[in-house]
Amino acid sequence: MKTSLGLLLAIGLAGLQFLAVLVVVSSSYVTSEQALIRHARDLLSDVGAGTIEHARSFLSPAEGAAELAARLAQNRVIASDDPDQLEQLLFQHLLIAPHFAGIYYGGENGDFVMVMRAPEGPGAFQTKVITHENGVRKVELIWRTTGFREVKRELDPDDPYDPRTRPWYQMARDQRNTIWTDPYIFFTSQHPGITLAAPVRESGQSTRNDRVVRGVIGVDIEISRISDFLAGLKIGTHGRAFILNSNGDVIAHPDKELLRIRKDDGSLRFSHLAELDDPIARAAFGGLLSDGQVHVAEETKTQFTYNGARYVGTVMPMGSKRLPWTIAVYAPEDDFTSVIKENRKDNILIAALVAVITGVSGLALAHYIHKPVRAFAIRSALISQGEVAPNAPMPRTYQELERANEALVQQIAARRQAEHEYGRTFELSSLGMAQLASHCGAFLRVNPRFTEITGYTAEELQGLTMADLGTGDVSVIWPVQADGRRDFAVNRDLRLLRKTGESIWVSVNGNLIRDGNGNALHVMLTIDDITATREKEARIEQLNRDLSHLARINTMGQMATGLAHELNQPLTAIAQNADTALLLSNLEDSDGTELRVVLQEIERQSLRAGQIIHALRTFIRKDEGARVGFDIGELIDQTLHLLQAELADTGVLIDRHLPVDLPQAWGNRVQLAQVMVNLLRNAIEALAAEEDSERRILLAATASSGEITIMVQDNGPGMPANLSPFTQYETTKRGGMGLGLSICKSMVETNGGRIWYESAPGRGSTFRFTVPCTPIDREGGKGEA
């Protein structure tokens, strides 16, 4: 076992556990984070809305107060030219609206009454009254307590104040409507504020077209309180909300100090957003500015990164035409998500811890599971080595392993049986068997029969190879080819030398044996002593040759008369020509020309006689068994020479069809001549039995696909259908032995050809046989004789 099952289990379990926790943690973290951020945005939205609400509720009383005062004055409930009444009215308003810094009335004639808070003066409130009685301008300052008790009164003739020159006055008068000024820093209190102005029209005029403004009621509202409100808001831990005017001025901010910037002339103004000392705000909302103006049409949520931390932000318009303000809120995400980030770290730690615990438990569990498996493995190994009996009791184990054990036990039993049988087969085989080393061919194991055949003992054979038992050629055909890569098989006959020096023939069959993975194990060799068989074959072959020779001699005996006649023909011609020559040589008037012709004819006929004798001798010659290439046409002519007499006697005509381009035939000339003589004589004899008919034999040869087919066809009576002419002792001839065609068949087949026939009673017989054109290795892989 390459990797311990236990370790694998432990690591696997721990890893899986860790992974699972990690996935859950990450998933819940992501989900929570998204929920929290959504929540943060909602919170910012709420803050914005709250701020708007707050600012409205903060400012609307001023509007109400100013308009109430204006209407009172307008309807002359309070005489606007009575500074005492006016002061009292204004004082009451101021008293109930703590965020009012001051409330005042300016008349068209330049009169002015203002009540304002004066926390640093002798009383809590200060009143400034400017009157013009009889063209005399009088400026009087009065300090009062909360209970309207006069504390101090003095004149200030140096005060040049004229309400009609103030912007709030002019705006309200021009627009004839309640107006809000832009926020600004109050000169006296140096706090940011805003002024609301409502015009006081002439009473009694019902139409609005002709409104004559008599004066303007103004309210100063300190908006520091809005900043205080903002400072009191809890937006996460570090979140902030502030208010921008449409011109980009920051008019409310939790840090009030940031709002004011002192100008060169010592007066104060609002910080512009672009110069606000709150870099996060600048980064968040700087993009809202264009041409120094702020344009926000609707609530917009943003997300941005500042200094590596991520923030969420929201801007929303105030939604009031007269107060073109924008509420801006931002907060770092961490304010909302830091808790779960902390929690995430804890979770990962917990996951790691759980993984370690799981790993340890896994090890223990694996050990528990693995122990019987290991015991089983060891036991299996021992059983396979034969050190423990397969039916020995099993250690404590599982049901599954018990089933595996049963299968194993059965397998082992079957294998032992097979091995036993193989061993018996090997030892008792009637064939010589040997295992050879696949790499060098050395004998590893031999059976008794092998030692019997070779004459060597098993010990003597150790380390020898087949080549050592060979007779020379063995080393050529028995190189150690089984290098394990190529397949190796041998199946052939070899000559071996026994230990005694006796030469024997064995048939050898060898195969490379491989294991299941294709690795060469050894070469399995079987040998069989075929010396006796070989000798028997040789004897049979010799007998066959003798038989065919005898048959030939017999044939010649039968043909002797005819052959004598055939030889007599040229001899007759020679005798006649010789006499004629003698006669001519005695004639005195002969010029010798005719004599030469006659002598030439004598020569020709002598050669003819010689050819007949040659054919005869070739035919009778003892068969040497040699196969050679030869001209089949020549052989056919020689055969016809031998049969010429019989043909003539029986009046049989031969139609000889031999193509001029016949290839060479390959075989034993004598045997094939014998076949042809036999077939032709059979045909002649068949025809001779027929009375009064044209007797013809068609003798033809054709070449195709590497062999020559020779046909002998007669127009004789044919053979009965139930005859097997190639079988010995079957014959139609009176006095025939029935050997001719059976010998023909064996001779044709010995020469690598086939012989067959067609015949039907009354329609003649056709015999065909083939002769190969090229040498054929009839003996296949067998060794040479």
Partner 1 sequence: MAEEELTVYVVDDDEAIRMSLSRALTTRGYRVDVHASAASFLTAFNPDRYGCLVLDYGMPEMNGLELQAHLNKIGSDLPVIFITGHGGVPESVQAIKGGAVDFLEKPFRQAALIERIDAALEIARRQQAARQAGQQRREMFNRLTARELEIVERIVERPAETSSKEIAAYLGISPRTVDHHRARILEKLGLRSIIELIAIARQ
Give me the residues that bind partner 1 (CB under 8 A), please: 561, 564-566, 568-577, 579-580, 583-584, 594, 598, 601, 604-605, 608, 645, 647-649, 651-653, 694
The answer to whether 674 and 551 are in contact (CB under 8 A) is yes
Q: By C-beta, is 56 or 696 nearer to partner 1?
A: 696
Q: Choose between 434 and 584: whose C-beta lies nearer to partner 1.
A: 584
Q: Cβ contacts of residue 218 below 8 Å, gap of 6+?
A: 66, 103, 104, 105, 106, 163, 166, 168, 169, 172, 195, 196, 197, 198
Closest approach of partner 1 to the CB of residue 658, in Å: 20
| Amino acid residing at 294 | V
Single-letter amino acid code for the residue at 250: V
> Could you tell me the smallest distance in angstroms from the CB atom of residue 561 to partner 1?
7
Q: How far is the CB of 589 from partner 1 (least distance, A)?
A: 12
Given a contact cutoff of 8 angstroms between Cβ atoms, the answer to whether 446 and 466 are in contact is no
Tokens 């003095």 belong to 154
Least distance to partner 1 from the beta carbon of 563, Å? 10
Which CB, 533 or 590, lies closer to partner 1?
590
Which of 369, 688 has the CB closer to partner 1? 688
Closer residue to partner 1, CB minimum distance, 601 or 690 = 601
Question: Is the distance from CB of 771 to CB of 753 less than 8 angstroms?
Answer: yes
Spatial contact of 545 and 624, defined as CB atoms under 8 Å apart: no
Closer to partner 1 at the Cβ: 130 or 642?
A: 642
> How far is residue 500 from each of residues 423, 458, 475, measured CA to CA in Å?
29, 15, 20
Please count the CA atoms within 13 angstroms of the CA of 364 that sit on its side-chain side: 6
In 3D, which of 315, 100, 301 has the Cα closest to residue 217? 100
3-state class percentages of the chain: helix first, strand second, coil last, to nearest 5: 45, 25, 30
Which residue number, 428 or 648, has a Cβ lying nearer to partner 1? 648
Show contacts of 475-482: CB within 8 Å, 24+ apart: 478/441, 480/439, 480/440, 480/441, 482/436, 482/438, 482/439, 482/441, 482/512, 482/520, 482/523
| Distance in angstroms (rounded) separating the CA atoms of residues 334 and 658 | 115
Q: Which residue has the tokens 């004629």?
A: 580
DSSP notation for 446-491: E-HHHHHHH---HHHHBT--GGGGB-SHHHHH------SSS--EEE
Cα distance between residue 721 and residue 759, in whole Å:
8
Q: How far is the CB of 762 from partner 1 (least distance, A)?
A: 22
Q: How far is the CB of 716 from partner 1 (least distance, A)?
A: 15
Give the nearest distance from C-beta 712 to partner 1 in angstroms: 18
Q: Which secondary structure element, helix H or strand E, spans residue 53, and what is its range?
A: helix 5-74
Residue 575 beta carbon to partner 1: minimum distance, rounded to whole angstroms: 4
Could you give the C-alpha distances from 506 to 470, 495, 497, 531, 532, in angstroms and in order?
A: 11, 6, 10, 7, 10
* Of residues 457 and 590, the one with the C-beta less far from partner 1: 590
Q: How far is the CB of 648 from partner 1 (least distance, A)?
A: 4
**Among residues 447 and 605, whose Cβ is nearest to partner 1?**
605
CA distances from 164 to 111, 306, 664 (A): 9, 49, 148
How far is C-alpha 389 from the chain's CA centre?
Answer: 48
| Closest to partner 1 by CB, 404 or 571 | 571
Alpha-carbon distance of 496 to 771, in angstroms, equals 35
- Rounded to an integer, what is the distance from CA 779 to the centroid of its chain? 54
Residue from 196, 205, 199 nearest 174 by CA: 199
Query: How many whole angstroms separate alpha carbon 542 and alpha carbon 550?
Result: 12
Do residues 335 and 84 lie in contact, with contact meaning Cβ atoms separated by under 8 Å?
no
Q: Which is nearer to partner 1, 98 or 651 (CB)?
A: 651
Nearer to partner 1, 360 or 564 (CB): 564
Residue number, 601 or 623, with CB nearest to partner 1: 601
Residue 639 Cβ, how far from partner 1 at the closest point, in Å? 18
* Nearest alpha-carbon partner for 413 in 387, 384, 393: 384
CB of 625 to partner 1, least distance (A): 35
- Is the CB of 342 or the CB of 603 nearer to partner 1? 603
Contact (CB, 8 A) for 635 and 668: no
Whole-angstrom distance, CA of residue 229 vs CA of residue 242: 10
At its nearest, how many Å lie between partner 1 and the CB of residue 573? 4
| 3-class SS string, 617-667 | HHHHCCCCCCCEEECHHHHHHHHHHHHHHHHHHHCCEEEEECCCCCCCEEE
| Closer by beta carbon to partner 1, 181 or else 580 | 580
Cβ count near 55 (within 10 Å): 23
Smallest distance from partner 1 to CB 736, Å? 22
Closer to partner 1 by Cβ: residue 549 or 565: 565
Give the residue with the Cβ less far from partner 1, 395 or 651.
Answer: 651
Residue 760 Cβ vs partner 1, minimum distance, rounded to whole Å: 26
Nearer to partner 1, 257 or 588 (CB): 588
Q: Which of 93, 61, 59 is nearest to 223 (CA)?
A: 59
Q: Min. distance of Cβ 582 from partner 1 in angstroms? A: 9
In angstroms, the CA 613 to CA 622 distance is 15
